[in-house]
Amino acid sequence: MPTNQRTTSSPLADLAPDLRTAFVRVGYDAITLFEALGPATHAALSRQEPVPVRRAARGLGELGTLIRLLLLGDALPEREVAAALAPADISQAVAAGLLERDGSDVRAALDLRPMDLGAGTQWMFSDLDDSMRRRTLDTDHVLGVGQASLSLLRATPTSPVGTVLDLGTGCGVQAMHATTYGQRVTGTDVNKRALWLAEATARLNDLDVELLEGSWFEPVAGRRFDRVVANPPFVVGPARIEHTYRDSGLALDGASELVISSVPELLAPGGTAAMLSAWVHVTGQDWRTRVSSWLPDHGIEAWVVQRDIADPDLYVGTWLRDAGLDPREPLAQERAERWLEALAVNNVDGIGFGFVYLRAIDGPTEILAEDLTHAFDDPLGPEALRYFERSAWLRAVATDPELVLASRFEVDPATALERVYLPGAEGWQQQVARLHRGDGPRWQHETDDTTAALLAGMRPDGLPLRDLIELLAFGETGDAATPEFISAALGIVVGLVRHGLIHPR
C-alpha cells in the first residue's frame, strides 16, 4: 500500500453509514425523487427554480424534508430534520460539517444529492454552489456533478479492466463510476477538501476507493494503470489559481499539455485513457499540430475529438459566471480585463474543447485529431474502443496493401447514401452525395458515384476488394484498374473503415 494513502476516516465519512440507512428508509434516491416530484417539477429542479420544488416537497413528508434541506438549502426546524435523518445524529452531522445551525433551525452546509450514473443511485457530496442561492465560490471549492463531469462519464469506455486512475478526482464522481468497471480504483487530488468529500462519498455508497493526496502525478509515481480518467483543471487563461477545480496555475493550455504529455507514462500495455481537455487556437496555427506536439513519438495511439470552439469573450464570461461572479461587478470586470489581455498577447482567437483518448501501443505514435462539432449519439465511450480496434486493423495491414485488397468488406447497417438535389434551370440538380453513418459519431463523407458503386458490391460473402475494384474499373473504362485507381480506392476504404462506415470481414 502506498505510504501516502489516506487511512483515517473523517467524522463525515464515519457518519455516512447512518446517512445511507436514512436515505434508503425515506426513499431519497434518484428514481423515487423523480417519481415523487413528477417530470415537470423535477425539470424545475434542474433549471434551478426552487419555488415549484419547495411547493411539491411540502406534501412529501420526510422525503420532502430532505429535498428542502439538501437540494434547496432551506433552513428547517431541527426536530423535523432529525426525524428525516434518523438514525444519523444531528449534533454529529453538525460537527462533521454536513449541517450548520441557523438559530433554532438547521441548514445544509454541503450539497448531498442522489444521482443515477448508470448503475443505480449513488449519493454524491460536494460543496454548495449558487444554483439555489447566490454565493461566490471559495478557492478550494469542490464542484459537484456538472455538465463537464457528465460529459466525461458518457465519454469514458466502461469495458472491464483491472486498475483505474481518476486523476484529479474532485468530488469523486469519476472514481465512483469507475468502480462499476474497474477492479481497483485510485483517485488523486491536490485539494484536501476534495479528498475529504470523496472519501465520505465512497463510504456513503459502500465503495472501496483508494484516495491519495498530492499534486498531479506525484501520488502514483512509478505505477501503471489499465485506464486513466481525467477531468483536470484545464481552464485556459493566465497562470493563476482562483479555484482549484478549474485553475492549474499554468498559463494558457498548460494544464492540458501537462496531462496529455504525462498520462502515457501511467498506462499499462494496452491501457487506455479518456480525458477532457482544452487547447488554444492561435492565429495562423493549426490546433491539431499544437495538440499532437504534446504526445511522445512512440508508444501511443491518440484520438483527439474537438467538440466546441469558443471565442475569448464568450469563454471568459462563461467561466466568470461559473465561479458565481456577475460580469457587471467591478471585481469581475478586473478579472475579465486581465484574462482577455493574457489571451490577446498570445494571439489566441479561440479556445477548443473536447475529448482526448489515448491507448498504449507497441510502435510509433499515431494521432488522429478531428472535429466532432455536429450532433452525435451518446455515449461516446464505446465508440472510442471501437475506433482503437479499427485503427489496430489498419495498422496491421498498413505495410502490405495486398492484405487490404484481399479482404472482404461489408457496409455498416447504419450507413446511408444521401443525395442532395436543389432546383436548377433544368429541374432537380444534384449538389452533393455523401455517405452518412446514422449512429455514434454520425460521421459524413462526401462521395461520388464511383465510390457508391464500390460500396454497393461490399458483402460478407461477396468478392474481395481487389476484384470489386477491377470490376469497377472495367465498367468505367473497359480496361484493368491502374495503380492510381487502386491507390485512390484504397485511400477511400481506409477512411471509411476508420470512421466505421464499412468493416473488414
Q: Which residue bears the cell 492540458?
A: 256
Q: What is the mean pLDDT of residues 254-282?
A: 97
pLDDT at 130 over 80: no
Rounded distance, CA 401 to CA 66, Å? 64
DSSP-derived letter for residue 69 is: I
pLDDT band, residue 182 (cuts 50/70/90)? very high
Instruction: Summarize pLDDT for 40-66 with one digit per residue, the tens.
Output: 999 999 888 999 999 999 999 999 999
Residue range 147-394 in CATH 3.40.50.970: no
Is 139 a residue whose pLDDT tops 70? yes
pTM of the model: 0.90
Q: Are 439 and 377 in contact (CB under 8 A)?
A: yes
| Greater model confidence, 178 or 460 | 178
pLDDT (mean) for 446-452: 94
Residue 267 identity (one-letter amino acid): L
The 3-state DSSP class for residue 438 equals: coil
Given this model, what pLDDT does residue 131 score?
A: 57
Identify the CA nearest to 280 among candidates 235, 325, 217, 335: 235
Right CATH for 401-504 from 1.10.3470, 3.40.50, 2.40.50, 3.30.390: 3.30.390
CB atoms < 10 A from the CB of 240, how many? 15
Q: Show Cβ contacts of residue 494 under 8 Å, excluding neighbours closer than 6 positions.
A: 394, 404
| 185/173 Cα distance (integer angstroms) | 12
Residue 419 burial (CB count, 10 A): 13
* pLDDT tens sequence across 403-429: 999 999 999 999 999 999 999 999 999
Residue 80 CB coordination number (10 Å): 16
CA atoms of 358 and 267, how far apart (whole Å): 9
Q: For residue range 85-110, what is the model confidence (pLDDT) as tens digits?
A: 999 999 999 999 999 999 999 999 99
Q: Give the pLDDT mean for 445-458.
A: 95
Residue 278 above 90 pLDDT? yes
pLDDT at residue 2, as a whole number: 38
Largest separation between any pair of C-alpha atoms in the chain: 93
Is pLDDT of 5 > 50?
Answer: no
Q: How many helices (H) and strands (E) does the chain have?
A: 18, 18
What's the pLDDT at 134? 52
Query: What average pLDDT score do residues 268-289 get?
Result: 96
Tell me the β-bridge partners of 411. 502
Nearest CA among 421, 435, 301, 416 for reference residue 364 = 301
- Categorise residue 500: left if φ over 0, alpha if ψ from -120 to 50, beta otherwise: left
**Grid cell digits, residue 104:** 433554532
Q: For the segment 365-417, what is each residue's pLDDT rounded down to a tens digit?
A: 999 999 998 889 888 999 999 999 999 999 999 989 999 999 999 999 999 99
Please report, for the chain, the start and end positions of each structural domain, with discontinuous segments joined by +.
Answer: 11-124, 147-394, 401-504
Measuring CA to CA, which residue among 431, 435, 405 is closest to residue 417?
435
Residue 96 CB partners (closer than 8 Å, separation 6+): 10, 11, 12, 14, 15
Q: Which residues contact 167 (CB under 8 A, 6 or more apart)?
A: 188, 216, 217, 228, 229, 230, 232, 259, 263
Element housing 414 (H / E) = none
Q: Which pLDDT does position 457 carry in this prediction?
A: 94
Spatial CA neighbour of 207 closest among 178, 227, 228: 178
For residue 133, what pLDDT is reported? 56
Q: If you average pLDDT over residues 28-34, what whole number do you get?
A: 95
Residue 125 gets the label, from left (phi > 0), alpha (psi -120 to 50) or beta, of beta
Cα separation, 66 vs 28, in Å, equals: 7
- Between CA 445 and CA 433 the distance in angstroms is 9
The three-class DSSP label of residue 16 is helix
The whole-number average pLDDT for the span 197-202 is: 96
438 DSSP β-pair partners: none
